[in-house]
Amino acid sequence: MLDTKPLLLNSDFPAINRGALSVLQVNLGYLCNLSCTHCHVNAGPKRTELASLETISAILAYIDLTGVTTLDLTGGAPEMNPHFKYLVREASARNVTVIDRCNLTILNEPGYEDLAEFLALHQVVVSASLPCYSEKNVNEQRGKGVFGSSITALQKLNKLGYGTSENLSLNLVYNPNGPFLPPSQQALQQDYKQKLAQDFGISFNELLTITNMPISRFGSMLLSKGLYEDYLQLLKDNFSAANLAGVMCKNLISIDWQGYVYDCDFNQMLDMPLQTHSAGAKGMIASDAKRTHISDLLQQDITGNPIVIGDHCYGCTAGQGSSCGGALA
């Protein structure tokens, strides 16, 4: 796979600093039942990286110390980590809002038949990837049969009250199937709601539109087709300074399967670790920085720290903006 990192490090992106931390986003591992073309973590069925119980214990200790209010679980398929249910139970017992970045098809896999009921029991927010309401587009991006399996999973979640009851939130996630920006989130949400209700009787709360980052599997595809520079220029041409105030890295840290900390999951995939006052040296480039473990942050306040940036950050600030919570504008 072609590496985009050397093309991203020397950036003119504006300097930004952290605000108050409220969200821990944890990558529980790269194991996944799918191998999607847009996946920025290169997840798949043959990956073996999974967060250990020791790492999960360190995450819970950090939650206890800081009072973080949201735990955002991602992967791979986070549910395939053998400690997924333990972490959800422990976080829920602490009154932490848990978000499950679910690919939907995992709810239909053998051994996971009770997963939807488990999520409902603990009032986990399901943020489900459905990159289009078109079967053809979804299957091209995520694999043959994925659309049908996703619809079945959504109907299962609806029967449990997801998308229809106050305490069970079901959000869908859209990302483009090519080198272009997402359309208006509000307009596309109306299309999704109308089409899914009409064709399948499916209800959901919100649609979150996310811009594809020019890294990992998607970035490699762009390079191989000679589209990388054009796509990066598209992001830069659509930069909006107004989006800087809402970028997710201001109130979130991303933790990898080994417990190391990054400003966001895109930096995680580029091996650009979070810099603390003790570990970061002025003028140090991200690729030289010492990695910080979540257990090392127990005695540190990272509020106000500089955020490690690169040209991929233009993906979060282009057009209507993009974050794991959808559009910013």
Both tokens assigned to 97: 């809002």
107-119 residue pLDDT tens? 999 999 999 999 9
Both tokens assigned to 221: 């595809």
Is residue 305 within 8 Å of 17, Cβ to Cβ? Answer: yes
Q: Which residues contact 301 (CB under 8 A, 6 or more apart)?
A: none
Task: Report, as ranges of residue numbers, the positions in the chain whose pLDDT lies below 70.
Answer: 1-8, 37-40, 277-289
pLDDT at 34: 82
pLDDT at 203: 97
Phi-psi region of 158 (alpha: psi -120 to 50; beta: other; left: phi over 0): alpha
pLDDT at 135: 83
155-187 residue pLDDT tens? 999 999 999 999 999 999 998 888 999 999 999
Question: Nearest-5° angle of CA 235, CA 147, CA 1?
Answer: 45
- Exposure string for 282-292, b = 16+ CB within 10 A, e = fewer: eeeebeebeeb
Question: Which residue type does 121 have?
Answer: L
Instruction: Specify the pairing of strand 261-262 against strand 252-255.
Output: antiparallel
Domain ranges of the chain: 5-317
Q: At the top level of CATH, which class does the domain 5-317 belong to?
A: alpha beta
Q: Which residues contact 37 (CB under 8 A, 6 or more apart)?
A: 140, 141, 142, 177, 217, 218, 221
Q: Is the pTM of this model over 0.85?
A: yes
Q: How far is the C-alpha of 81 from the C-alpha of 100, rounded, in Å?
A: 12
pLDDT at 281: 39
Which strand (E) or helix (H) includes residue 70? Answer: strand 70-74
Is residue 83 within 8 Å of 49, Cβ to Cβ? Answer: no
pLDDT at 284: 38
**What residue has token string 């970035």?**
219
292-326 residue pLDDT tens? 999 999 888 999 999 999 999 999 999 999 998 99
Q: How far is the C-alpha of 104 from the C-alpha of 235, rounded, in Å?
A: 29
pLDDT at 1: 52
pLDDT at 306: 95
Q: Which residues contact 6 (CB under 8 A, 6 or more apart)?
A: none
